[in-house]
Amino acid sequence: MSKRSRREKRRAKHGAPARGASGTGAAEGDAGSASRANPKPRPEREPRRPAAPLRGDDALVAALDPGAGRVEVWVHVATALFVAFCALIAFLGLRVGGAAPIVAYRYGPTTLFLLSMATLAVGAFACFRRPPMRRKGRVRGIVMLALVIGIGSMPFPYPSSREREPSAVPFTLPVEGEWRVFWGGDERAKNRYADWFADRRWGMALVREEGGATHTGDGAALADYHAWDRPVLAPARGIVAVVVDDVPDHAPGRRGDRGRPLGNHLAMEVAPGEFLFLTNLREGSIDRVVGETVEEGEVVARVGHSGLGTMVDEPHLALHLQTTPRARRGEAIPWTFRDYEADGRPVERGLPVGGIARDGRPIGQVVRRAGAGD
Protein backbone atom coordinates (compact mmCIF):
# COMPACT_ATOMS: atom_id res chain seq x y z
CA MET A 1 0.00 0.00 0.00
CA SER A 2 1.34 3.43 -0.91
CA LYS A 3 1.97 6.20 1.60
CA ARG A 4 -0.85 8.31 0.15
CA SER A 5 -3.40 5.52 0.64
CA ARG A 6 -2.33 5.03 4.25
CA ARG A 7 -2.69 8.78 5.01
CA GLU A 8 -6.24 8.87 3.56
CA LYS A 9 -7.17 5.79 5.55
CA ARG A 10 -5.96 7.43 8.79
CA ARG A 11 -7.87 10.60 7.98
CA ALA A 12 -11.07 8.63 7.39
CA LYS A 13 -10.58 6.80 10.70
CA HIS A 14 -10.23 10.06 12.67
CA GLY A 15 -13.17 11.78 10.87
CA ALA A 16 -11.13 14.20 8.84
CA PRO A 17 -12.43 14.99 5.39
CA ALA A 18 -10.67 13.52 2.53
CA ARG A 19 -8.56 15.65 0.33
CA GLY A 20 -10.69 17.66 -2.00
CA ALA A 21 -13.85 17.18 0.12
CA SER A 22 -13.41 20.27 2.33
CA GLY A 23 -14.25 22.62 -0.47
CA THR A 24 -17.40 20.76 -1.34
CA GLY A 25 -18.63 20.79 2.27
CA ALA A 26 -17.96 24.47 2.58
CA ALA A 27 -19.86 25.09 -0.59
CA GLU A 28 -22.80 23.09 0.66
CA GLY A 29 -22.77 24.97 3.98
CA ASP A 30 -22.73 28.29 2.18
CA ALA A 31 -25.66 27.18 0.01
CA GLY A 32 -27.70 26.11 3.09
CA SER A 33 -27.03 29.43 4.81
CA ALA A 34 -28.11 31.28 1.72
CA SER A 35 -31.31 29.28 1.43
CA ARG A 36 -32.14 29.98 5.07
CA ALA A 37 -31.40 33.63 4.66
CA ASN A 38 -33.49 33.92 1.50
CA PRO A 39 -36.39 31.43 1.83
CA LYS A 40 -38.42 30.70 -1.24
CA PRO A 41 -41.69 32.63 -1.32
CA ARG A 42 -44.77 30.44 -0.67
CA PRO A 43 -47.46 30.42 -3.33
CA GLU A 44 -50.43 32.63 -2.47
CA ARG A 45 -53.65 30.80 -1.54
CA GLU A 46 -56.68 31.45 -3.61
CA PRO A 47 -59.47 33.26 -1.72
CA ARG A 48 -62.28 31.00 -0.55
CA ARG A 49 -65.37 31.15 -2.64
CA PRO A 50 -68.63 31.83 -0.81
CA ALA A 51 -70.74 28.72 -0.29
CA ALA A 52 -73.70 28.37 -2.56
CA PRO A 53 -77.03 29.21 -0.86
CA LEU A 54 -78.99 26.20 0.37
CA ARG A 55 -82.31 25.51 -1.22
CA GLY A 56 -85.30 23.31 -0.65
CA ASP A 57 -85.00 20.55 1.94
CA ASP A 58 -81.33 21.39 2.63
CA ALA A 59 -82.30 24.89 3.72
CA LEU A 60 -85.03 23.53 6.00
CA VAL A 61 -82.65 21.06 7.64
CA ALA A 62 -80.04 23.77 8.15
CA ALA A 63 -82.61 26.07 9.70
CA LEU A 64 -83.92 23.43 12.10
CA ASP A 65 -80.56 21.92 12.97
CA PRO A 66 -77.84 24.61 12.89
CA GLY A 67 -74.54 24.47 14.66
CA ALA A 68 -71.96 21.76 15.04
CA GLY A 69 -70.69 19.33 17.61
CA ARG A 70 -72.13 16.33 19.38
CA VAL A 71 -75.91 16.05 19.72
CA GLU A 72 -76.90 16.15 23.40
CA VAL A 73 -78.93 13.44 25.10
CA TRP A 74 -81.99 15.63 25.73
CA VAL A 75 -82.27 16.27 21.99
CA HIS A 76 -82.52 12.52 21.39
CA VAL A 77 -85.22 12.35 24.07
CA ALA A 78 -87.09 15.22 22.40
CA THR A 79 -86.95 13.39 19.08
CA ALA A 80 -88.34 10.23 20.69
CA LEU A 81 -91.19 12.16 22.32
CA PHE A 82 -92.09 13.84 19.04
CA VAL A 83 -92.12 10.52 17.20
CA ALA A 84 -94.27 8.99 19.97
CA PHE A 85 -96.72 11.88 19.76
CA CYS A 86 -97.06 11.50 15.99
CA ALA A 87 -97.56 7.76 16.42
CA LEU A 88 -100.28 8.40 19.03
CA ILE A 89 -102.21 10.73 16.73
CA ALA A 90 -101.89 8.27 13.84
CA PHE A 91 -103.08 5.38 16.03
CA LEU A 92 -106.14 7.27 17.24
CA GLY A 93 -106.91 8.32 13.69
CA LEU A 94 -107.20 4.68 12.65
CA ARG A 95 -110.37 4.35 14.80
CA VAL A 96 -109.68 0.70 15.51
CA GLY A 97 -112.03 0.54 18.48
CA GLY A 98 -111.54 -1.47 21.66
CA ALA A 99 -109.78 -0.64 24.91
CA ALA A 100 -106.34 0.31 23.52
CA PRO A 101 -107.34 3.61 21.87
CA ILE A 102 -109.39 4.58 24.94
CA VAL A 103 -106.35 4.14 27.20
CA ALA A 104 -104.15 5.94 24.68
CA TYR A 105 -106.61 8.86 24.48
CA ARG A 106 -106.97 9.14 28.24
CA TYR A 107 -103.32 8.92 29.26
CA GLY A 108 -101.22 9.45 26.12
CA PRO A 109 -101.42 13.23 25.55
CA THR A 110 -101.04 14.06 29.24
CA THR A 111 -98.05 11.75 29.67
CA LEU A 112 -96.26 13.09 26.61
CA PHE A 113 -97.04 16.67 27.65
CA LEU A 114 -95.49 16.21 31.09
CA LEU A 115 -92.42 14.40 29.74
CA SER A 116 -91.94 17.13 27.12
CA MET A 117 -92.13 19.85 29.75
CA ALA A 118 -89.48 18.07 31.84
CA THR A 119 -87.24 17.54 28.79
CA LEU A 120 -87.62 21.19 27.80
CA ALA A 121 -86.51 22.24 31.29
CA VAL A 122 -83.43 20.02 30.99
CA GLY A 123 -82.71 21.44 27.54
CA ALA A 124 -83.03 25.02 28.75
CA PHE A 125 -80.61 24.29 31.60
CA ALA A 126 -78.14 22.72 29.15
CA CYS A 127 -78.31 25.75 26.85
CA PHE A 128 -77.68 28.04 29.81
CA ARG A 129 -74.73 26.05 31.18
CA ARG A 130 -73.08 25.29 27.83
CA PRO A 131 -73.48 28.20 25.43
CA PRO A 132 -73.84 29.06 22.63
CA MET A 133 -77.44 28.25 21.92
CA ARG A 134 -76.78 27.24 18.32
CA ARG A 135 -75.24 23.87 19.06
CA LYS A 136 -75.97 20.81 17.04
CA GLY A 137 -79.63 19.72 17.38
CA ARG A 138 -80.72 22.24 20.01
CA VAL A 139 -83.05 24.27 17.81
CA ARG A 140 -84.55 21.10 16.39
CA GLY A 141 -85.14 19.68 19.87
CA ILE A 142 -86.83 22.85 21.11
CA VAL A 143 -89.09 23.02 18.05
CA MET A 144 -90.22 19.40 18.47
CA LEU A 145 -90.89 19.85 22.18
CA ALA A 146 -92.85 23.04 21.53
CA LEU A 147 -95.06 21.20 19.03
CA VAL A 148 -95.78 18.35 21.44
CA ILE A 149 -96.52 20.74 24.31
CA GLY A 150 -98.61 23.12 22.23
CA ILE A 151 -100.71 20.53 20.43
CA GLY A 152 -100.83 18.09 23.34
CA SER A 153 -102.24 20.71 25.72
CA MET A 154 -105.29 21.31 23.51
CA PRO A 155 -108.22 18.94 24.17
CA PHE A 156 -109.75 17.20 21.18
CA PRO A 157 -112.76 14.89 20.72
CA TYR A 158 -112.22 11.18 20.95
CA PRO A 159 -112.22 9.63 17.44
CA SER A 160 -114.78 6.91 18.09
CA SER A 161 -114.94 3.93 15.77
CA ARG A 162 -118.74 4.38 15.84
CA GLU A 163 -118.66 7.99 14.69
CA ARG A 164 -120.07 7.11 11.27
CA GLU A 165 -122.40 4.42 12.67
CA PRO A 166 -124.97 6.16 14.91
CA SER A 167 -127.41 4.16 16.96
CA ALA A 168 -130.64 3.18 15.22
CA VAL A 169 -132.58 3.34 18.50
CA PRO A 170 -134.99 6.33 18.64
CA PHE A 171 -134.57 7.72 22.16
CA THR A 172 -136.98 9.97 24.04
CA LEU A 173 -136.13 12.60 26.65
CA PRO A 174 -135.74 11.04 30.12
CA VAL A 175 -137.53 13.82 32.04
CA GLU A 176 -140.94 15.43 32.29
CA GLY A 177 -141.56 19.13 31.76
CA GLU A 178 -139.13 21.78 30.52
CA TRP A 179 -135.42 21.30 31.11
CA ARG A 180 -132.36 23.30 30.06
CA VAL A 181 -129.58 21.51 28.17
CA PHE A 182 -126.38 22.38 30.08
CA TRP A 183 -124.07 20.35 27.82
CA GLY A 184 -125.11 18.56 24.66
CA GLY A 185 -124.81 18.28 20.90
CA ASP A 186 -121.97 17.62 18.51
CA GLU A 187 -120.12 20.96 18.76
CA ARG A 188 -117.23 21.16 21.19
CA ALA A 189 -118.08 24.69 22.31
CA LYS A 190 -121.56 23.54 23.36
CA ASN A 191 -120.64 20.16 24.78
CA ARG A 192 -117.62 19.99 27.06
CA TYR A 193 -118.01 16.23 27.36
CA ALA A 194 -116.78 15.98 23.77
CA ASP A 195 -113.33 17.34 24.64
CA TRP A 196 -112.51 15.14 27.59
CA PHE A 197 -114.27 11.77 27.62
CA ALA A 198 -114.08 8.84 25.22
CA ASP A 199 -117.35 7.41 26.52
CA ARG A 200 -119.31 10.69 26.63
CA ARG A 201 -118.40 12.20 23.26
CA TRP A 202 -122.14 12.82 22.59
CA GLY A 203 -123.28 12.90 26.22
CA MET A 204 -125.86 15.29 27.59
CA ALA A 205 -126.50 17.07 30.92
CA LEU A 206 -129.93 18.50 31.85
CA VAL A 207 -130.83 21.03 34.56
CA ARG A 208 -134.24 22.26 35.60
CA GLU A 209 -135.07 25.97 35.47
CA GLU A 210 -137.98 27.90 36.94
CA GLY A 211 -138.26 31.63 36.54
CA GLY A 212 -134.90 31.74 34.74
CA ALA A 213 -132.98 30.18 37.64
CA THR A 214 -131.97 26.63 38.49
CA HIS A 215 -132.45 27.09 42.24
CA THR A 216 -134.12 29.16 44.91
CA GLY A 217 -132.33 31.09 47.64
CA ASP A 218 -128.54 30.92 47.66
CA GLY A 219 -128.38 27.40 46.28
CA ALA A 220 -126.38 26.08 49.23
CA ALA A 221 -128.65 23.10 49.83
CA LEU A 222 -129.53 20.33 47.40
CA ALA A 223 -133.22 20.86 48.01
CA ASP A 224 -132.86 24.44 46.69
CA TYR A 225 -132.42 23.11 43.15
CA HIS A 226 -135.41 22.51 40.91
CA ALA A 227 -133.84 19.38 39.39
CA TRP A 228 -133.31 17.68 42.74
CA ASP A 229 -135.32 14.48 43.27
CA ARG A 230 -137.18 14.78 39.96
CA PRO A 231 -138.22 11.45 38.39
CA VAL A 232 -135.98 9.96 35.70
CA LEU A 233 -137.66 8.09 32.84
CA ALA A 234 -136.25 5.32 30.66
CA PRO A 235 -135.42 6.87 27.26
CA ALA A 236 -135.84 3.51 25.50
CA ARG A 237 -136.71 -0.10 26.11
CA GLY A 238 -133.80 -2.12 27.42
CA ILE A 239 -132.40 -4.66 29.85
CA VAL A 240 -130.71 -3.41 33.01
CA ALA A 241 -127.01 -4.29 32.89
CA VAL A 242 -125.47 -2.25 35.74
CA VAL A 243 -126.87 -0.69 38.93
CA VAL A 244 -124.79 1.47 41.31
CA ASP A 245 -126.96 2.99 44.05
CA ASP A 246 -124.78 3.53 47.13
CA VAL A 247 -122.80 6.70 46.34
CA PRO A 248 -123.67 9.56 48.74
CA ASP A 249 -124.95 12.81 47.28
CA HIS A 250 -122.75 15.80 48.02
CA ALA A 251 -123.49 19.48 48.54
CA PRO A 252 -123.08 21.95 45.64
CA GLY A 253 -119.56 23.38 45.50
CA ARG A 254 -117.94 20.15 46.66
CA ARG A 255 -116.46 17.35 44.60
CA GLY A 256 -117.74 13.81 44.65
CA ASP A 257 -115.87 10.52 44.82
CA ARG A 258 -113.05 10.60 42.23
CA GLY A 259 -113.00 6.83 42.17
CA ARG A 260 -116.66 6.78 41.03
CA PRO A 261 -117.07 9.93 38.92
CA LEU A 262 -120.44 8.86 37.46
CA GLY A 263 -121.97 8.61 40.94
CA ASN A 264 -125.06 6.47 41.22
CA HIS A 265 -125.95 5.21 37.77
CA LEU A 266 -128.01 2.73 35.81
CA ALA A 267 -126.91 1.19 32.52
CA MET A 268 -129.32 -0.53 30.13
CA GLU A 269 -128.55 -2.51 27.00
CA VAL A 270 -130.85 -0.97 24.40
CA ALA A 271 -129.34 -2.76 21.39
CA PRO A 272 -126.54 -5.31 20.85
CA GLY A 273 -123.32 -3.60 21.96
CA GLU A 274 -125.12 -0.36 22.92
CA PHE A 275 -125.47 0.61 26.57
CA LEU A 276 -127.40 3.66 27.78
CA PHE A 277 -126.05 5.25 30.99
CA LEU A 278 -128.21 7.41 33.29
CA THR A 279 -125.83 8.99 35.82
CA ASN A 280 -125.63 11.38 38.78
CA LEU A 281 -128.72 9.79 40.32
CA ARG A 282 -129.88 10.21 43.90
CA GLU A 283 -128.58 7.69 46.40
CA GLY A 284 -131.05 4.88 47.01
CA SER A 285 -133.47 5.99 44.27
CA ILE A 286 -132.87 3.22 41.69
CA ASP A 287 -135.60 0.60 42.04
CA ARG A 288 -134.43 -1.72 39.25
CA VAL A 289 -132.24 -4.81 39.33
CA VAL A 290 -129.76 -6.26 36.86
CA GLY A 291 -131.47 -8.39 34.24
CA GLU A 292 -134.82 -6.63 34.50
CA THR A 293 -136.50 -5.39 31.32
CA VAL A 294 -137.48 -1.73 31.39
CA GLU A 295 -140.02 -0.20 29.05
CA GLU A 296 -139.66 3.25 27.52
CA GLY A 297 -141.09 6.00 29.73
CA GLU A 298 -141.02 4.04 32.99
CA VAL A 299 -139.63 5.79 36.08
CA VAL A 300 -136.31 4.15 36.98
CA ALA A 301 -134.67 6.59 39.43
CA ARG A 302 -134.57 10.19 40.64
CA VAL A 303 -132.21 13.08 39.93
CA GLY A 304 -129.42 13.54 42.46
CA HIS A 305 -125.92 14.97 42.83
CA SER A 306 -123.69 11.96 43.44
CA GLY A 307 -121.24 12.34 40.53
CA LEU A 308 -117.88 14.05 40.57
CA GLY A 309 -119.39 17.43 39.68
CA THR A 310 -116.59 18.90 37.56
CA MET A 311 -118.75 19.55 34.48
CA VAL A 312 -121.99 20.56 36.23
CA ASP A 313 -121.71 21.56 39.87
CA GLU A 314 -125.36 21.20 40.87
CA PRO A 315 -128.08 18.53 40.80
CA HIS A 316 -128.59 17.43 37.20
CA LEU A 317 -129.22 14.40 35.05
CA ALA A 318 -126.40 13.19 32.79
CA LEU A 319 -126.78 10.48 30.16
CA HIS A 320 -124.74 8.99 27.34
CA LEU A 321 -124.51 5.96 25.05
CA GLN A 322 -121.41 3.74 24.84
CA THR A 323 -120.21 0.36 23.56
CA THR A 324 -119.64 -1.52 26.85
CA PRO A 325 -121.41 -1.83 30.23
CA ARG A 326 -118.24 -0.86 32.09
CA ALA A 327 -118.15 2.73 33.27
CA ARG A 328 -115.45 4.81 31.52
CA ARG A 329 -114.35 1.79 29.46
CA GLY A 330 -116.47 2.17 26.35
CA GLU A 331 -116.50 4.20 23.16
CA ALA A 332 -119.15 6.84 22.68
CA ILE A 333 -121.94 6.16 20.16
CA PRO A 334 -123.77 8.94 18.31
CA TRP A 335 -127.50 9.02 19.03
CA THR A 336 -130.64 11.05 18.39
CA PHE A 337 -133.88 11.80 20.22
CA ARG A 338 -137.35 11.84 18.74
CA ASP A 339 -140.55 13.81 19.27
CA TYR A 340 -139.44 16.67 21.47
CA GLU A 341 -139.61 20.46 21.51
CA ALA A 342 -136.51 22.66 21.52
CA ASP A 343 -137.04 26.33 22.40
CA GLY A 344 -140.70 25.91 21.55
CA ARG A 345 -140.13 24.37 18.11
CA PRO A 346 -141.09 20.75 17.43
CA VAL A 347 -138.23 18.41 16.52
CA GLU A 348 -139.05 15.09 14.92
CA ARG A 349 -135.55 13.72 15.43
CA GLY A 350 -132.37 15.43 16.56
CA LEU A 351 -129.78 15.95 19.28
CA PRO A 352 -130.46 18.65 21.91
CA VAL A 353 -127.79 21.35 22.04
CA GLY A 354 -126.29 22.86 25.19
CA GLY A 355 -123.90 25.65 26.05
CA ILE A 356 -123.08 28.16 28.78
CA ALA A 357 -122.44 31.90 28.81
CA ARG A 358 -119.18 33.46 29.98
CA ASP A 359 -120.67 34.07 33.41
CA GLY A 360 -121.52 30.38 33.76
CA ARG A 361 -125.24 30.62 33.04
CA PRO A 362 -126.66 27.77 30.96
CA ILE A 363 -127.87 29.04 27.59
CA GLY A 364 -128.54 25.75 25.84
CA GLN A 365 -131.87 24.75 24.37
CA VAL A 366 -134.96 24.44 26.55
CA VAL A 367 -136.37 21.00 25.74
CA ARG A 368 -139.43 18.97 26.65
CA ARG A 369 -141.13 15.82 25.52
CA ALA A 370 -143.65 16.55 22.78
CA GLY A 371 -147.16 16.79 24.20
CA ALA A 372 -145.97 16.42 27.83
CA GLY A 373 -146.99 18.77 30.58
CA ASP A 374 -144.91 20.34 33.32
Q: Are strands 274-281 and 179-183 parallel, antiparallel or unpaired?
A: unpaired
Whether residues 137 and 201 fall in one domain: no
Taking the C-alpha atoms of residue 250 and residue 119, their distance in angstroms, rounded to an integer, is 40
Same domain, 239 and 131: no
Are residues 192 and 134 part of one domain? no
82 and 178 assigned to the same domain: no
23 within a domain of the structure (yes/no): no
In terms of residues, how long is the chain?
374
Q: Is residue 46 part of a domain?
A: no
Q: Is residue 48 part of a domain?
A: no
CA-closest candidate to residue 88, choices 146, 156, 139, 141: 156
Please indicate, yes or no, whether residues 298 and 258 belong to a single structural domain of this protein: yes
For the chain, the domain total comes to 2
For residues 112 and 281, give the distance between their C-alpha atoms in angstroms, rounded to a whole number. Answer: 35
Q: In this structure, are 207 and 308 located in the same domain?
A: yes
Same domain? 202 vs 316: yes
Residues 216, 289 within the same domain? yes
CA 74 to chain centre: 21
332 and 198 in a common domain: yes
Q: What pLDDT does residue 131 have?
A: 84
| Sign of the C-alpha dihedral computed for residues 151, 362, 235 and 219 taken in this order | positive
Distance (Å, whole) CA 266 – CA 249: 16
User: Would 80 be classed as within a structural domain?
Assistant: yes
Question: Is residue 163 assigned to a domain?
Answer: no
CA distances for 309 relative to 50, 115, 257, 284, angstroms: 67, 29, 9, 19
Q: State the pLDDT at residue 22.
A: 47
Domain finish residue from 125, 152, 179: 152
Indicate whether 13 belongs to any domain: no
289 neighbors 297 (Cβ within 8 angstroms): no
Same domain, 177 and 142: no
Classify residue 188: in a domain, yes or no: yes
* 309 Cα distance to chain centroid: 22
Query: Residues with Cβ < 8 Å from 98, sequence gap 6 or more?
Result: none
Say if 28 falls within a structural domain. Answer: no
pLDDT in tens, the chain (374 residues): 555 666 666 666 655 554 544 444 444 555 555 455 555 666 666 555 554 554 554 555 555 555 556 889 999 999 999 999 999 999 999 999 999 999 999 999 999 999 999 999 999 999 988 888 778 889 999 999 999 999 988 989 999 999 999 999 999 999 999 999 999 998 888 999 998 999 999 999 999 999 889 999 889 999 999 999 999 999 999 999 999 999 999 998 888 888 899 999 999 999 999 999 999 999 999 999 999 999 999 999 999 999 998 899 999 999 999 999 999 899 999 999 999 999 999 999 999 999 999 888 889 999 999 876 56
Give the CATH number, domain containing residue 239: 2.70.70.10
Residue type, 186: D
Residues 101, 86: Cα–Cα separation, whole Å: 14
Is residue 42 within 8 A of residue 105, CB to CB? The reply is no
CA 192 from chain centre, in angstroms, equals 15
Q: Could you say which of 120, 152, 184 is where a domain stops?
A: 152
Same-domain pairing of 234 and 302: yes
Annotate the chain with three-state secondary structure. CCHHHHHHHHHHHCCCCCCCHHHHHHHHHHHHHHHHHCCCCCCCCCCCCCCCCCCHHHHHHHHHCCCCCCCCHHHHHHHHHHHHHHHHHHHHHCCCCCHHHHHHHHHHHHHHHHHHHHHHHHHHHHHHHCCCCCCCCHHHHHHHHHHHHHHHCCCCCCCCCCCCCCCCCEECCCCCCCEEEEECCCCHHHCCHHHHCCCCCCCEEEECCECCECECCCCCCHHHECCCCCEEECCCCEEEEEEECCCCCCCCCCCCCCCCCCCEEEEEEEECCEEEEEEEECCCCCCCCCCCEECCCCEEEEECCCCCCCCCCCCCEEEEEECCCCCCCCCECCCEEEEEEECCEEEEEECCCCCECCCCCECCCEEEECCCCC
Domain that holds residue 335: 170-369
Q: In whole angstroms, give the CA distance from residue 187 to residue 190.
A: 5
- Same domain flag for 122 and 189: no
Burial class of 74 by CB neighbour count within 10 A (0 to 12, 13 to 18, 19+): buried
Final residue before a domain boundary, out of 121, 152, 183:
152
Interaxial angle between packed helices 138-152 and 99-129, expressed in degrees from 0 to 180 and rounded to the nearest 10: 140
